Every structure is written in structure tokens, then in C-alpha cells.
Amino acid sequence: MSAADPLQAALALHQAGRLDEAIRAYRRLLPADRGGVQVNRLLGLAMFARGDGAAALRHLQAAAARAPRDAALLNDTGNVLRALARRPEALATFRRAIEAAPGLADARFNLADCLLELGRHAEALDAYDAIAALRLPGMDADFHNNRGAALAGLDRVEDALGAFRAALALDPAHPGAAANAGEMLQRLGRSRESVEALTAFVRQRGATPGLLLVLGQGLLNLDLPGPALEAFDAVLRGDAAHEQALQGRGAALTGLKRHEEALAVLDAAIRRNPSSRAALVLAGNAHAARKDIEAAAVAYSRAAAIPHGRRPDAALAMMAYGRLRACDWTALDATRARLRGGAAAGTDVLPPFEALCLFDDPALHRRAAERHIRDNHAGPRRALRPPRQAGRIRLGYVSGEFREHAVGHLIARLLELHDRDAFEVHAFSIGPATGDAVQGRIRAAVHAFHDCERLPEDAVLARADAAGLDIAVDLNGFTGGSRTALFAAGLAPVQVNFLGYPGTMGARFIDYAIADAVVVPPGAEADWTEAVVRLPHAALPTDDRRPVATEGLSRARFGLPEDAFVFCCFNNTHKILPEAFDAWMRILGAVPGSVLWLREENAPATRNLRAAAAARGVDPARLVFAGRVDFAEHLGRHALADLFLDTLPYNAHTTAADALGAGLPVLTRPGRAFAGRVAASLLQAAGLLGMVVDSAEAYEATAIALAADPARLGAIRAALAAALPSCPLFDTPRYARNIERAFREMRDRAAAGRPPEGFTVADLPGA
């Protein structure tokens, strides 16, 4: 036999997978391998194939030391370093291989993949693009999938989607590319398209954990927590500790209102990985859903404290809002400064509703809304027929609050007053079927009441199509219970933002916003993506038949001193920022014996407000907290107070209307944004513009002066009482005719093929 025969025999063992025998044969040949390259390389590769990476590396490096320009050998060495998670060394080795042989495709692919694994997405993309420029062989589905991952890491989502689709064109059964394409569609707000594509892939090709995770997230985005739970549970059946599946399961359970189960799952996920921002945010959401605001704030705070990469999240804003609800103002100025800077730079998400509560900045509110829409609801709106040019306008109001709720109370009377000859009115309820008195009024007032809380998106859209809606009105916006995905898909050819959310939706699929000249002054349209429609008086509807009960009400019953001056604010606690509270404490200090009557919303807020009063030198006993009573008594008890003090940047809205309707004057200072100008709008419609002041100093001085001048305050109360029967604020029939004129103009423009455009409705007194 020739001298090469023992090496050929060892190679044959190696190629047959008899690795232990091959390794022994290679070792016997090492002493005779005078160059120290060939046998060391083959021995290293055999050891690597057997799983002994450290030993393999020693032999490959020994060979490379003797042949430093052998590109294939360097590439093999880099692969072992990469498998041993020594990626920086692997990168350097792949670069040496490429220097030795620029056309070595394997080394270039390995370099690009290694950069991707290190999260160096820009460099990885350059490496993939260099491969494409050289037209090297091997640009298969995996290549395009990995290139897409680099683009996704750079937030070039559209380009990434194109790369993943290129991978699927080469290999339609590539599960990684299918999952990645689905994720990109979701990041583009096209969750419906993502779910449809992934569902079809699973039916045809079968499921993988990666596919199921993305499918589950898409189903959550479409407000389908039940099917999402099934997807996550399928992953967990194969891997009970899968972190992303546990997080998804917790989110799905929260969506199903199974909060205790959700928290158990999320707590388990957090115990496994205490640094998981996603799990902590989801736990905060679950705590908030079960109204444990302190626990929610703690979870959000823990999440916000963990450093994060390029992908932004809302943990900091959610922490700030959770603390506001508890009147915990810890580090609020620093948090607001960070949020404002991050939102301006595009490095942090600022959720739209939280933005309203934290900042009096309508331009920032628009940016926050637009980013939210871009991240969650950027899919194409369905093509729908134009509205009918004649006949009854089919109007669909959509809300999660058709019940005993501020929105329910405000909208019920308007629905009762709609002209049934001119309008066919539908209520699409995406909230609970409570059966309470307000929901009963609404059911009786409309042509059809559609219970849609548990219906999937497609079923709700089908109901809207069957109703033949001309106009759909979103009464939620970005407030609780909203289903913005319905409007993103297209419920009607004309879609309107009204009542529930005092700011722009930032969405091109919402055509109009209902406002007035106070809440959105002329010239402020640049802060709105909707065409602004101004009603002639306050944009907020009220109830001219509101039940105000006064019999049997007394100050003593509510813990108020009989002879003291009673300041009042029944706004939600998240509207009470330290600037307002500081002013209130100075006002109490200047009005001896006076008290401040506040809403008792939650125990932590009550405790913190009392502590804050004490810290400012005010006896906490001078804060009196109002518990829950029925609606009629709640309205009536306002008359026991002397003056309502408003908040900023988020004004009293329904609470101001309640106070004025009960004869209690409201003192307000308007801000720059819609949310901070509603009380001024209501006061103008009630004929009390003198209660609108233009500075913080005037606000405090006016409150103190009115407390010291009973005659002046009495005259204001008398003027309000005289105005109530006829003022525009509580002339609901007049309001109904005016908003109907707005709807008719919207319908007529769309029926004529004209785009949405802002306009002002001329007043139509009387019914």
C-alpha cells in the first residue's frame, strides 16, 4: 500500500460517521505529518463533528499557525470559534480568510451571520450586500432571511419584509422566513394580513414554535385573546418554560379578564428571568386591569429601570401614569423630561393617552398618536362603497362604555334625540352587557344595539357591512376598552373621532374630529390628522334631563363642615399633578377654615394626598374625600360645595359639566391642548367666561378672592342658575340638530367623492 493509504482509510471512517475510529486513526498519523497542517485540520474537524469543540480548536489553530493564508482552514477555525460563542475571535478569523481568498463564499456568509448574531446589524447588512454584489453562489432562502433580520434590527421594516418574502419565494416552506414576515407585517400595523398569512402557512406546512409565537401576537393585536391563548399553549406543550410563550399566555389571559391566572403565569416568567422588561410590563398591565395600581406602578418601574436596546417601549410612561393615578409624584419632573426628550428623538414610545395626562403640548400629542398608529394600525383601510347620496344616514356609534360611565351618561340623551326620519342609528357595544339603567336607555334609543364585546374583528366588520353604515363614530379613541383595529380596517366610508378621546388619533383612517372653537382654536389644525369640525358651542354633549337629586343631602352627611368654605374637585386622580395640588394648598392656606372636597378614587391616592398636604403644612383633615353614591345624588351633592377648582394639563370634562349642571361654578385655566381647554368651552357655553383665567397667578388669586367675597360668588351662582334652563350647554335638542348637520355635511362630501375637509357648523337654536 502507498503512504497515502492510511490517510485515505481515516478519511473513509470520517466520511462514514465513525468519528471515534477516525480520530484514533488521525492521531496515529500525526507524528508522520511533518507539515502539521493536513492531519491537524482533519482531526480538528472530526473532533468538532463529535462535539468536542475545545479540542477541535486546538488542532485547527495548530494547523492555521503553519498555514496562515489557508482560507478554507481559517474559515473552519472561525466556525469552531463561533460555535464556542467566541464570536469576536471568529469575526477576526473570518476576515483573515476573506483577505486570503476574497471570493471564498463560505467565509463571507459566515462573517455576515456572525455579525448578525452579535447584533451588529449595520455591519451585517453591509456584509450581506457585499455577497450580493459579488454574485457569490449560495444566496438561498437562508441568506435572504438573515439579510431580512439585519434590516429588521435597523428598523427598516418594509425592506426587511421584502427580504423575508424573497426567502419565501425561493423556499415557500421556510418557517423562519414566514414567521419573520408575519412579525414585520405586525410591526407595520398589518396584523390582519399577518394572521391570514401565518394561518395559511400553518395549514399547508405545519406549525413551529416560532410561527405560533408570531401568530399568537398577531391574534392579540386583533383583540382575539382566545385564539392567541391556544397558539401560546401549543408552544408551551412542547416547552413549558418557553419565555415568550409564557409572556404571550399572560397577555392573552389578561385580555380574557382572567387576571389572577395571568399574574401567576407572568410571575413565573419573571422568576425565570427577572430582567425581562416585556414580562414586567405585561404584569403591570394585569395588575392595572384588576385595579391594583400600586402593584402595577411597581412592575412598570422595574421594567423602566432595565436598560433596553433599539426597540422602544412604553414602560416609563406607563410607570408615570400608574403613579399619577396613585398621586405618587416621585421623580415626576425627571420622568417627564426623559419622556419628552425620548419622544422628540424617537427613542421612546409615549402612549397617546398618557401623553395627554403628562404634557400640555398638542404637537407632542400628535407625534405620540401617530407613532402608536404606525406601530399598531398601519394596515390599509378596506375599500368601501361611498355613502348614499340621499335617504336616511346610517350612523354607527362604537364604544366600550355604553353603560353607567361618563361616556354613557353623556351620549344617551343625544341618541334619544336623533331625528329618526333622517338617521338610522346603530350602537356597536365593544364593552360589557351590564343591563344597567344607562345601557337600557341606549338600547331603547337606537335602531339596533349590537353586542360585540366577544366578537372577533371580522364578525364586527360583517355587522357594520350588514347595517350599511355611512358614518362610524369612535367614542373611545385611545381610552380603555377601545378597538382601534376596527376603524383601521374600515367600519364605514366616513369615520369620526368624537367625545371619548380629547386629542388627535394620528390616524389617516379617521376622517373627522368633532370639536369647537375653544378646544381647537382656529390655526391649531396642524396638530390634527383629522379634518376638524367645529360645533357652534361646546363639543361635549350633555343631558337636558339629567337627574339632579337634592332631597336629604347635607354637608354633615358627606363629612363637610357646615360653615366652612368648600372648594371641590371631583376629577380623576391622574389629573391631579403636583402643580395643581401646590396651588390648592396655597389657596387653603389663604382661606382660613376652608376644606378641599376630592373624589375618593383609590386608597393609595387618598393616602398620598393626605401625606402631600401635611408635607406642605396643611392639616390633612382639611381634605375631605367623597365616596361613591348613585348618579342623581352625585350630581346633587355638588351644590353643597362653593367653588370647583379645575386641573391642568387635563381639565375637568364630564366633571365640569356635572358641576355646572348642578349650579356649582367652575374655575379653570385653559392649556394649549384640547384636553386642557374643555372646561373653558363648557363655561363659555354656560355664559360664565369670567371663570376662565389666563395664568396660574390669576387662578389662585381668583379662588381666594371669591372665597372672601360671598356676594360676588353668590352673583355668579345666581347667573349660572338663571342661565341653566336656556343656555346652549344644556340645550341637548339644539346640540343634536347641530351635530346632525355636521354628520350630513360629512356624508354629502364623501358621497360626492370629495376628501374630508374641516368646517364650522352654523348654530341652529331650538329643537
Are the C-beta atoms of residues 514 and 533 closer than 8 Å to each other? Answer: yes
Q: What is the DSSP code (8-state) at residue 692?
A: B
- CA atoms of 361 and 365, how far apart (whole Å): 6
The secondary structure of 488-543 as a DSSP string is HH-SSSEEEE-SS-SS----TT--EEEEETTTS-TT-GGG-SSEEEEESS-SS---
Are the C-beta atoms of residues 382 and 489 closer than 8 Å to each other? Answer: yes
Which helix (H) or strand (E) is 196 found in, with range? helix 191-205
pLDDT at position 377, please? 84
Query: Any alpha helices (H) in 377-520, and if so which ranges?
Result: 406-417, 437-445, 457-467, 484-489
pLDDT at position 374, please? 86
- CA atoms of 128 and 381, how far apart (whole Å): 35
Task: Evaluate if residue 767 carries a pLDDT over 60.
Answer: no
* Exposed/middle/buried for residue 715 (C-beta within 10 Å: 0-12, 13-18, 19+): exposed
3-state class of 363 per DSSP?
helix
Degrees to nearest 5, angle at CA 224 with 495 and 165 = 85
Q: What is the mean pLDDT of the chain?
A: 92
Are the C-beta atoms of residues 339 and 321 closer than 8 Å to each other? Answer: no
Strands 623-626 and 423-429: unpaired
Phi–psi pair at 448, nearest 5 degrees? -150, 135
pLDDT at position 2, please? 47
pLDDT at position 577, please? 97
Helix 578-590 crosses helix 603-615 at what angle (to 10 degrees)?
A: 50
Q: What is the DSSP code (8-state) at residue 527?
A: G
Are the C-beta atoms of residues 492 and 388 closer than 8 Å to each other? Answer: no
Q: Residues 214-248: pLDDT tens digits?
A: 999 999 888 789 999 999 999 999 999 999 999 99
| Residue that the C-alpha cell 362630501 belongs to | 749
Query: CA 315: distance to chain centroid?
Result: 11
pLDDT at position 450, please? 98
pLDDT at position 361, please? 96
Phi–psi pair at 522, nearest 5 degrees? -55, 135
- Biggest alpha carbon distance in the chain? 123
Q: Return the number of other C-beta atoms located less than 10 Å from residue 523's C-beta.
A: 7
351 is written with which cell numbers? 402612549
Q: Is the peptide bond before 725 cis (omega within 30 degrees of 0)?
A: no
* Exposed/middle/buried for residue 203 (C-beta within 10 Å: 0-12, 13-18, 19+): exposed
Helix 175-187 crosses helix 209-221 at what angle (to 10 degrees)?
A: 20
pTM value surpassing 0.75 = yes
Q: Residues 604-628: pLDDT tens digits?
A: 999 999 999 999 999 999 999 999 9
Q: Residues 503-538: pLDDT tens digits?
A: 999 999 999 999 999 999 999 999 999 999 999 999
Phi–psi pair at 396, nearest 5 degrees? -120, 115
pLDDT at position 312, please? 52
Which residues partner with 172 through β-bridges? none
pLDDT at position 314, please? 79
* Exposed/middle/buried for residue 163 (C-beta within 10 Å: 0-12, 13-18, 19+): buried
- CA atoms of 719 and 723, how far apart (whole Å): 6
Residue 79 or residue 342, greater confidence:
79
Name the CA radius of gyration of the chain, rounded: 33
| pLDDT above 70 coverage of the chain, percent | 97
Query: Any alpha helices (H) in 490-624, and if so which ranges?
Result: 578-590, 603-615
- CA atoms of 115 and 185, how far apart (whole Å): 25
Mean pLDDT of the 263-273 span? 94
Are the C-beta atoms of residues 494 and 746 closer than 8 Å to each other? Answer: yes
| pLDDT above 90 coverage of the chain, percent | 75
Q: Residues 43-98: pLDDT tens digits?
A: 888 888 888 888 888 888 888 888 889 888 898 888 889 888 899 999 999 999 99
3-state class of 708 per DSSP?
helix
Are the C-beta atoms of residues 750 and 493 closer than 8 Å to each other? Answer: yes
Which residues partner with 497 through β-bridges? 474, 513
Are the C-beta atoms of residues 312 and 348 closer than 8 Å to each other? Answer: yes
Which residues partner with 662 through β-bridges? none
735 is written with which cell numbers? 346640540
Phi–psi pair at 433, nearest 5 degrees? -85, 90
- CA atoms of 612 and 754, how far apart (whole Å): 55
- CA atoms of 54 and 47, how far apart (whole Å): 9
Phi–psi pair at 693, nearest 5 degrees? -110, 165
- CA atoms of 109 and 143, how far apart (whole Å): 8
pLDDT at position 650, please? 97
Q: How many helices (H) and strands (E) does the chain have?
A: 34, 13
Mean pLDDT of the 356-363 span? 96
| Residue that the C-alpha cell 343631558 belongs to | 543
Query: Any alpha helices (H) in 19-104, and if so which ranges?
Result: 19-29, 38-50, 53-66, 71-83, 87-100
Structural domains of the chain sorted by starting position, each given as residue range(s) with its CATH number in brackets: 5-219 (1.25.40.10), 229-376 (1.25.40.10), 393-535 (3.40.50.11380), 556-730 (3.40.50.2000)
Q: b/e per residue, 580-614, with b = 16+ CB within 10 A? A: bbebbbebbeebeebbbbbbebbebbbebbbebbe
Which of 146-160, 295-309, 321-335 is the least confident region? 295-309
631 is written with which cell numbers? 348618579
95 is written with which cell numbers? 476576515
Q: Return the number of other C-beta atoms located less than 10 Å from residue 144's C-beta.
A: 24
